[in-house]
Amino acid sequence: MIVLNNPLLNFGLQFLQRINLHSFLFCICLIVLGIFLVIPLGFLFAMAFLDTNNNFIGLQNFKLYLDDSLLLVSLKNTFVVSLTSTFFGVSFALICAYAILRTNLRGKKVFHHISMLPLFVPNLTYGLGLAFLFGKKGIITSFLGLDDFSIYGFTGIVIAQSIYIFPQSFLIIHLGLQSADYRLYEQAKIIGISPLKSFLYITLPNIKFSLLSAVLVSFILCFTDFGTPIIIGGGYSVLSIEIYKQIIGVQNLSMGATISIILFIPSLIIFWILKKAEKQTHVLSAKATKYQIDSHTLRDVIFGILASIPTFVILTIMFSVLLASLITLYPHDLSLTLAHFQIESSIDGLYTLKNSLIISLLTAVSGAIFVFIFGYLNKMNKSPILQNIANFLIIAPAALPGLVVGIAYILFFNKPDFQLDKDLYLSNIFYSLYGTFWIIVICNIIHFFSIPSLSVKNALAKIDNELEAVCESMGISKWGMLKRIYIPLCLPAILENFIYFFLNSMISISAIVFIYSTTNKMAAITIIHLDEKGYIEEAAALAILIMCINFIMKFLYEIVKSFIIKKILKETK
């Protein structure tokens, strides 16, 4: 018999024997999230209280911000443009969702698919389309002779942002309208209430939380938007552009961190309101009946016309981007060409598109796997403290604008060491990540972490807890349960998270605009640089290529999802 006299080795063996492997792995996941989410954010908040020499100055940066009239103008402009864009975007989303679900509108699937188009391209694409149509030498301005008209500034941002938030608002309101109890409308008819009053006193109250969610989500998307104002903003100052100028332009990281916190405050307040509203939502009764659409020609015509407005605008702008990518040199040479798709005006060429594809695939695979593992370990974990920490880490990224995440990453990961004292430095072991694909992959996973995590959490919650006891009585190990039960039943959610991470990574701008380098530059960033140089045709071509890749991936996802669902249904019969 071999006796081990090494105390450290004995302790290690005893630790491995006594430890709960699930809890150990879960703690590792929490530490990973702490490193890549909590610490960078903490560093961002700390920087707001330091000067350019890293000396503590308290609230001096905030005072400087409030004393700067130009920066205050950017804050006011951001509120005004965000409120205006939210009003138009949500209003048309409500009209379109109502037309699809509550009228006999023809071609409902076409309207629905067109409404989703903006999700497949970077949001700066709408600015490109507007510039090509209404710019100084735009198609429409030239045709109508509107030489004094300018789309750049407030007007352009509002139109582009309204398109940007339209699909998100549409999906939220569409979901709310689906949860209707037709019995209420039947009773309203019996007592002679008009359709207009039914809409005002039944429909709107029933979807008030969906409507509130659409308004708040849309507002924060506009408030923190970077892609739209950088393309079509002209000289119109907004917070996101001021942050970009402070960090990239004048290298004032402390003021950039200060403005980031100011940008984060409305997001935090809105997130808190949404969580409060979520607790007050009512569950649809099991006795509820499906909404029956009555025949009403005038209603169908009116809503058909109104719903055609946003879909027409989306199609027109997307077509203008496609046209811009195919015209040799507007307005001098109107011949068609495919040369712009080679992106020769950029020194990167199509290299950045390849980067986008690789980074998005890495984000999708890594993100989907990590989110599932984290969700599974969270379900297996029995510690209330760890569960509360996990729930906080799941929800926190949802309240963070992409700009804030990106700035936190450049402040933390771009420092080779941290000065603790006059002659005392601590080496940053994560500095080697900066400039690699992985820094963007990790940033994307953290930025989009909340929705996939909630998706997996809901999928796991549907699995009966008694299955674990049954499997244990049959001698099936936890690894066997994971392989035979949890992964197969959660596979649709895992695939959904894969495509969610991929699509968002392909079109993301705000979170990565501060952390890219020449080696990991993505296509969405190249579009900005091409537009700045005046190569709008090639910028449009690159946007079209991104859209095509996203369409192909979405199509493949639908095929795989359909196959898996059929297989699961076949096995359950």
pLDDT digits (tens, 9 = 90+) for 316-354: 999 999 999 999 887 778 888 888 888 877 667 788 999
- Lowest average pLDDT, out of 141-145, 370-374, 569-573, goes to 569-573
Instruction: Place 182 in a pLDDT band, splitting at 50, 70 and 90.
Output: low
Distance in angstroms (rounded) separating the CA atoms of residues 492 and 490: 6
- Lowest average pLDDT, out of 19-23, 444-448, 487-491, goes to 19-23
pLDDT single digits (tens) 427-440 = 888 888 888 999 99
Q: Residue 564: what pLDDT?
A: 81
Q: Are residues 121 and 177 located together in one domain of the fold?
A: yes
User: In the beta sheet, which residues pair with residue 56?
Assistant: 50
What DSSP designation does 400 have?
Answer: S
Q: Are residues 317 and 452 located together in one domain of the fold?
A: no
Stretch 382-407: mean pLDDT: 86
- Gap between the terminal Cα atoms of the chain: 55
pLDDT single digits (tens) 184-215 = 767 777 777 777 777 777 777 888 888 888 89
Stretch 439-461: mean pLDDT: 90
- For 322-346, letters b (16+ CB in 10 Å) and e give bbbbbbeebeeeeeeeeebbebeeb
pLDDT single digits (tens) 242-299 = 888 888 877 778 888 888 888 888 888 887 887 777 666 555 454 556 667 778 888 8
Question: Among residues of the chain, what percentage have pLDDT more than 70?
Answer: 90
User: Does any domain span residue 2?
Assistant: no
Instruction: Place 371 in a pLDDT band, splitting at 50, 70 and 90.
Output: very high
Q: Are residues 471 and 524 located together in one domain of the fold?
A: yes
Instruction: Place 514 in a pLDDT band, splitting at 50, 70 and 90.
Output: confident
Given a cut of 60, whether residue 506 has pLDDT beyond it is yes
- Tell me, what amino acid is at 348? D
Distance in angstroms (rounded) separating the CA atoms of residues 317 and 132: 9
- Asked if 212 contacts 277 with a C-beta cutoff of 8 angstroms, the reply is yes
Distance in angstroms (rounded) separating the CA atoms of residues 198 and 362: 50
CATH number at residue 399: 1.10.3720.10
Mean confidence (pLDDT) of the chain: 84
SS3 labels along 258-295: HHHHHHHHHHHHHHHHHHHHHHCCCCCCCCCCCCCCCC
Backbone φ and ψ for 324, nearest 5 degrees, come out as -60, -35
Distance in angstroms (rounded) separating the CA atoms of residues 493 and 461: 12
- Asked if 289 contacts 183 with a C-beta cutoff of 8 angstroms, the reply is yes
More confident residue, 382 or 108: 108
Q: Are residues 29 and 111 located together in one domain of the fold?
A: no
- Asked if 364 contacts 371 with a C-beta cutoff of 8 angstroms, the reply is no
Length of the chain (residues): 573
- Asked if 115 contacts 170 with a C-beta cutoff of 8 angstroms, the reply is yes
Q: Are residues 415 and 312 located together in one domain of the fold?
A: no
- For 286-303, letters b (16+ CB in 10 Å) and e give eeeeebeeeeeeebbeeb
pLDDT single digits (tens) 131-146 = 989 888 888 888 888 8
Supply 79's token pair: 């509120």
Residue written as token pair 């071999």: 2
User: Does any domain span residue 384?
Assistant: yes
Judged on CB neighbours under 10 Å (0-12, 13-18, 19+), 415 is middle
Q: Are residues 318 and 347 located together in one domain of the fold?
A: no
3-class secondary structure, 383: coil
Supply 353's token pair: 């598109």
User: Does any domain span residue 386?
Assistant: yes
Which range has the top average pLDDT, 3-12, 82-91, 166-175? Answer: 82-91
Stretch 87-113: mean pLDDT: 92
Q: Are residues 359 and 223 located together in one domain of the fold?
A: no
Supply 233's token pair: 């903003």
More confident residue, 445 or 198: 445
Instruction: Place 66 in a pLDDT band, splitting at 50, 70 and 90.
Output: confident
User: Does any domain span residue 156?
Assistant: yes
Q: Residue 3: what pLDDT?
A: 47
Q: Are residues 562 and 494 located together in one domain of the fold?
A: yes
Side-chain-side CA neighbours of residue 153 (13 Å)? 4
Stretch 535-563: mean pLDDT: 92
Q: Residue 464: what pLDDT?
A: 72
pLDDT single digits (tens) 8-27 = 555 555 555 556 677 888 89
Q: Are residues 301 and 197 located together in one domain of the fold?
A: yes
Q: Are residues 112 and 243 located together in one domain of the fold?
A: yes
Stretch 514-538: mean pLDDT: 88
- Asked if 511 contacts 244 with a C-beta cutoff of 8 angstroms, the reply is no
Provide the number of structural domains found in the chain: 2
- Asked if 523 contacts 355 with a C-beta cutoff of 8 angstroms, the reply is yes
Which helix H or strand E contains 515, and what residues bound it?
none
**Parallel, antiparallel, or unpaired: how do β-strands 425-427 and 417-419 relate?**
antiparallel
Question: Among residues of the chain, what percentage have pLDDT more than 90?
Answer: 33
User: Does any domain span residue 70?
Assistant: no
Long-range contacts of 48-52 (CB under 8 A, 24+ apart): 48/254, 48/257, 48/258, 48/260, 48/261, 50/254, 51/254, 52/252, 52/253, 52/254
Q: Are residues 146 and 236 located together in one domain of the fold?
A: yes
Given a cut of 90, whether residue 547 has pLDDT beyond it is yes
Given a cut of 60, whether residue 572 has pLDDT beyond it is no
User: Does any domain span residue 406?
Assistant: yes
User: Does any domain span residue 287?
Assistant: no
Supply 74's token pair: 């950017």
More confident residue, 382 or 101: 101
User: Does any domain span residue 209?
Assistant: yes
Q: Are residues 394 and 496 located together in one domain of the fold?
A: yes
Q: From the CB of residue 378, how many other CB atoms can be counted at a distance below 10 Å? A: 23
Structural domain harbouring 160: 75-282+292-322
Residue written as token pair 């209707």: 180
Supply 78's token pair: 């951001």
More confident residue, 205 or 393: 393
Long-range contacts of 515-520 (CB under 8 A, 24+ apart): 515/406, 515/409, 515/410, 515/413, 515/414, 515/434, 515/439, 515/440, 515/443, 516/440, 517/434, 517/435, 519/435, 519/436, 520/355, 520/359, 520/435, 520/436, 520/437, 520/439, 520/440
More confident residue, 444 or 419: 444
